[in-house]
Amino acid sequence: MDALPPYREVPIGPGVDGMRLDRWLSLRFADRSRTFFARALREGMIRDGRDVPLAASWRVRGGEVLRVYVPGIAPTSGPPPFPTILYEDDRVVAIDKPPGLLAHPSGTAFAWGVISLAKARWPDARVDLVHRLDKDTSGVMLLTLDLEANRHLKEAVVAGAVHKEYEALVRGMVPWPERRLEGPIGPEDGEIRIKMAVRPDGLPARTDATVLGRRATLSHLHLVLHTGRTHQIRLHLADAGFPVLGDRLYGVPHEVFLDLREGRATLRDTIAIVGAPRQALHSRRVTFPHPDGRTLTVEAPFAADLVRWWERPEVLPYDE
């Protein structure tokens, strides 16, 4: 081929040494066949880390990194702008993640994510995420530039030494000024694999909520996380009767999520039900122990779209 498109780095994990490359690829990307990858290999679109084309019969080894140039698996367009940097030194970076950007893409189809953008920005560093935000959640997100810094901060997260504050717009007029939400959280018994539920046998969870304002059919909340369960804020607020505006998973019938995922409903139809183009949740402030011994606080201003929805709720649900 004359000109190669951008490539995607695909690591080979452990336990597969000696497997043929075409077979490994068809297992890693299960929506594409072994024949599909045999053709891509013949066209030189799958290469090793030194950019040398590989054959279908090449035997994989754990720890190797492939360069995959196949459109759809690899990017088909250039990267988005790098998120605003809120803090940076030679070990720790804090960014203001925009809504719509994945923290760490998974699956078969390519999507730009914070981690891939950061590795391109700091190519000589060991870039890792400290924590993740949902795709549609905006705000403060921490990364590290060396392995020891990452270990330090992840241990701090587990120990409860990283203090996280959020703001959200929720549906409904919250009647109380503040409340502690403590429903235990575990997987929901249902067909949506990623969905969590408040259940007696779940893990302990605590979210402190304070009302900052009420307007029309919305309330503006400040939220403090005391535990870090999956979807904790979204689930606790929905369980309290005030789901996050724009949330497609919690506070609406489960068919809303399934119909969109299975193509039985359009995105526009779904937005009309949930009330906004994305979930109105923002990571406002994070306080953490820096690896050098300092304590730092990083803040991200309330996202522009959320400010607009709060000040002019009449633009919803589509904000066109």
Options 22, 96, 128, 134, the catalytic residue: 134
* pLDDT at residue 3 in the model: 55
pLDDT at residue 109 is higher than 60? yes
> How far, rounded to the nearest angstrom, does the alpha carbon of residue 199 sit from its chain's CA centroid?
24
Q: Where in the chain is the domain with CATH 3.30.2350.10?
A: 84-315
Residues 6+ apart with CB under 8 A from 185: 196, 197, 198, 199, 202, 203, 205, 229, 230, 231, 232, 235
What are 226's two structure tokens? 């005391």
Check residue 278 and give its pLDDT.
97
Angle between the 21-28 and 34-42 helix axes, to the nearest 10 degrees?
120
pLDDT at position 128 over 90:
yes
The reported pLDDT for the residue numbered 174 is 97
**pLDDT higher than threshold 60 for residue 85:** yes
Which of 76-85, 100-109, 175-184, 188-197 has the least mean pLDDT?
100-109
Residues 206 and 229: their CA atoms lie apart, in Å, by: 9
- The CATH architecture that domain 84-315 belongs to is 2-Layer Sandwich (3.30)
Residues of each domain in the chain carrying CATH 3.10.290.10? 8-68
Catalytic-residue membership of 134: yes
Which residue, chain included where needed, has tokens 């939400």? Answer: 181
Predicted pLDDT of residue 9: 83
Helix, strand or coil, per DSSP, at residue 259: helix
Say if domain 8-68 classifies as CATH 1.10.1740.10: no
Beta strand pairing call for 281-289 and 138-144: parallel
Mean pLDDT computed over every residue of the chain: 93
* Confidence band for 38, pLDDT divided at 50, 70 and 90: very high
Report residue 219 CA to chain centroid gap.
Answer: 25
- Whether pLDDT at 106 is above 80: no
pLDDT surpasses 50 at 1: no
pLDDT mean over 201-226: 96
Show the CA angle centred on residue 38, arms to residues 35 and 43, nearest 5°: 130
- For the stretch 140-190, pLDDT in tens is 999 999 999 999 999 999 999 999 999 999 999 999 999 999 999 999 998
Q: For residue range 61-82, list pLDDT tens digits in order.
A: 998 989 999 988 888 777 899 9
pLDDT above 70 as % of the chain: 98
Give dist(CA 48, CA 65) in Å, integer.
7
pLDDT of residue 230: 93
Q: State the pLDDT confidence band at 104, using cuts at 50, 70 and 90.
A: confident
Per residue in 243-258, pLDDT tens?
Answer: 999 999 999 999 999 9
